[in-house]
């Protein structure tokens, strides 16, 4: 057992747990976005940044940082709130996240986080790049304008389904989630049509066809439910 | 055409069969022989090495070095480094676009020029700078850029 402090509360954790795990067990809320229980942590979105007092105030992603004996973690502070808000604003400014016109309105983790962190406006100019929407798959669609590149779909597809259909194509702000060789989703030979990516997606980027906005509720928890019931092979 | 490419690529990547960690080497080999890596070739590489197609495309599209369409007869490398940026690389790019009809990372419709952006050619004193093939052109302004491109284009390949 390892003992650390999170927001001045002494917390115990197993050595293989992350700061996020330890905080959760202690009932301390840390916002997350790219993290999804059941998938490997990648530390991509930085929303879960926490401050380590006894590391000179260093900022680390709670989802991808293992606990250590004696860590003095700040999980909630004005500084962190401001940083997390800024990250959200950058995400909103990067593509097109106009909730009123989104299929996921009301069921979107990005929208929920904006509300939670009190992000009432965006201080950066919106980029609004004109990105395509691919509706070639019979059951699902992907609207790149809503994608925040969290990679949850990519990991669900490779780590849980094992199909490896989705990948990151391009780089930086021009990155797009693409199927196989950049094929239309409906033509992707490796796609099994399982829909795990759609359930894992925190925004309206991946959606189910034939469902109205109000019904576009995702079930990201199925990823953890599946992986828990089907423990990965050792090694 | 596609069948021909497939057979050729299959031959090229034979030494890398089943070696997932050699993906970049295999892609280099294909590009140095074919000049570019079209989708059909990417599919063959994926199959031969046992790498998911999505990852092959990911690598090809990540590195600016790899191209998926044939390069033009001439390559224009426009410097986007700091000094050139300050001295008006944007205006030069606009002139290139007007003259060739394409911007960064693309090839003109007549197959004559491929336009690329690079970071600092080490000739900051001449900013803004571009290279056309092995020739360096400095102190560019929109008019001069257009004249240079026209002259090079006239001389052919
Ligand atoms: S499609 Fe959804 S899950 Fe995939 S990277 Fe974009 S936002 Fe994340
Ligand atoms: S949730 Fe930790 S970095 Fe995204
Ligand atoms: S910045 Fe253009 S040559 Fe150095």
Structure confidence at residue A232 (pLDDT): 58
* CATH assignment at residue B58: 1.10.10
Q: Are residues B99 and B54 in the same domain?
A: no
Structure confidence at residue A29 (pLDDT): 98
Chain B environment of A181 (Cβ under 8 Å): 39, 42-43, 46, 53-54, 56-57
Atom 7 of ligand 1: nearest residue by CA position: A147
CA distance A155 to B21: 20
Q: Are residues B86 and B36 in the same domain?
A: no
Residue of A nearest to B38 (CA): A181
* CATH assignment at residue B117: 3.40.30.10
Q: Which atom of ligand 2 is nearest to the CA of A33?
A: 1
Three-state SS for B77? Answer: strand
Q: Are residues B101 and B132 in the same domain?
A: yes
Class of domain A83-234: alpha beta
Pocket of ligand 2 (CB under 6 A): A 32-35, 43-48, 61, 63
Q: What is the pTM of this model?
A: 0.87
Q: Are residues B86 and B125 in the same domain?
A: yes
Structure confidence at residue B155 (pLDDT): 74
Total CB pairs under 8 A between chain A and B: 46
Q: Where are the domains of chain A?
A: 2-76, 83-234
Query: Within 13 Å, how many C-alpha atoms sit on residue A183's CB side?
Result: 21
Q: Are residues B45 and B81 in the same domain?
A: no
- The answer to whether the Cα torsion of A194, A200, A206, A211 is positive or negative is positive
Three-state SS for B90? Answer: helix
**What does the pLDDT profile of chain A (235 residues) look like in tens digits?**
999 999 999 999 999 999 999 999 999 999 999 999 999 999 999 999 999 999 999 999 999 999 999 999 999 999 999 999 999 999 999 999 999 989 999 999 999 999 999 999 999 999 999 999 999 999 999 999 999 999 999 999 999 999 999 999 998 989 999 999 999 999 999 999 999 999 999 999 999 998 877 677 899 999 999 988 876 554 4
Q: What angle do CA A176, A179, A181 make, to 5 degrees?
A: 95
Contact A182 B57 (CB under 8 A): yes
Contact A169 B46 (CB under 8 A): no
Decide if B69 is inside a domain: no
Is some CB atom of chain B closer than 8 A to the CB atom of A159? no
B64 to chain A nearest CA, in Å? 9
Q: Are residues B79 and B149 in the same domain?
A: yes
Contact A181 B58 (CB under 8 A): no
Q: How many domains does chain B have?
A: 2
Q: Are residues B58 and B79 in the same domain?
A: no
Q: Which of B17, B36, B62 is the last residue of a domain?
A: B62
Is some CB atom of chain B closer than 8 A to the CB atom of A169? yes
CB A50 within 8 A of CB A80: yes
Chain B environment of A174 (Cβ under 8 Å): none
CB B48 within 8 A of CB B16: yes
Chain B environment of A166 (Cβ under 8 Å): 54
For residue B30, what are the domain limits? 3-62
Q: Are residues B84 and B124 in the same domain?
A: yes
Q: Are residues B80 and B40 in the same domain?
A: no
Out of 2.40.30.10, 1.10.357.10, 3.10.20.740, 3.40.309.10, the CATH code matching A2-76 is: 3.10.20.740
Q: Are residues B36 and B57 in the same domain?
A: yes
Query: Within 13 Å, how many C-alpha atoms sit on residue A212's CB side?
Result: 1
Convert the pLDDT of each residue in B40-71 to its tens digit.
999 999 999 999 999 999 999 998 889 999 99
């Amino acid at each position: 057992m390892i003992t650390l402090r999170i927001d001045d509360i002494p917390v115990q954790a197993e050595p293989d747990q992350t700061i996020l795990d330890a905080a959760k067990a202690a009932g301390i809320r840390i916002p997350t976005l790219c993290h999804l229980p059941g998938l490997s942590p990648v530390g991509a979105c930085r929303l879960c940044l926490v401050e380590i007092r006894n590391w000179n105030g260093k900022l680390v992603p709670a989802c991808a940082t293992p606990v250590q004996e004696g860590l003095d973690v700040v999980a909630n502070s004005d500084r962190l709130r401001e940083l997390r808000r800024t990250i959200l604003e950058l995400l909103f400014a990067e593509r097109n996240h106009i909730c009123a016109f989104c299929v996921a309105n009301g069921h979107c983790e990005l929208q929920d986080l904006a509300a939670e962190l009190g992000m009432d406006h965006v201080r950066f100019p919106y980029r609004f790049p004109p990105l395509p929407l691919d509706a070639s798959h019979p059951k699902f669609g992907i609207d790149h304008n809503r994608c925040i590149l969290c990679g949850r779909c990519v990991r669900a597809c490779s780590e849980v389904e094992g199909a490896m259909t989705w990948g990151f194509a391009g780089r930086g702000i021009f990155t797009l989630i693409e199927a196989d060789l950049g094929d239309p989703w409906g033509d992707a030979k490796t796609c099994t049509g399982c829909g795990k990516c759609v359930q894992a997606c925190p925004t309206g980027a991946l959606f189910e066809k034939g469902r109205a906005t109000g019904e576009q509720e995702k079930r990201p928890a199925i990823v953890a439910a599946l992986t828990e019931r089907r423990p990965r092979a050792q090694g | 055409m596609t069948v021909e490419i497939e057979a050729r690529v299959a031959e090229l990547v034979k030494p890398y069969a089943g070696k997932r960690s050699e993906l970049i080497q295999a892609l280099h080999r294909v590009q140095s022989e074919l000049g570019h890596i079209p989708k059909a070739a990417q599919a063959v590489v994926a199959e031969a090495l046992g790498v998911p197609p999505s990852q092959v495309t990911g690598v090809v599209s990540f590195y600016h070095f790899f191209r998926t369409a044939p390069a033009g007869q001439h390559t224009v490398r426009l410097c986007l480094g700091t000094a050139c940026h300050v001295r008006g690389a944007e205006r030069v790019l606009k002139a290139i676009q007007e003259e060739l009809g394409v911007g960064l990372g693309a090839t003109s419709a007549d197959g004559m020029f491929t336009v690329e952006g690079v970071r600092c050619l080490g000739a900051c004193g001449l900013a803004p700078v571009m290279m056309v093939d092995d020739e360096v052109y400095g102190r560019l302004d929109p008019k001069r850029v257009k004249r240079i491109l026209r002259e090079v284009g006239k001389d052919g390949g």
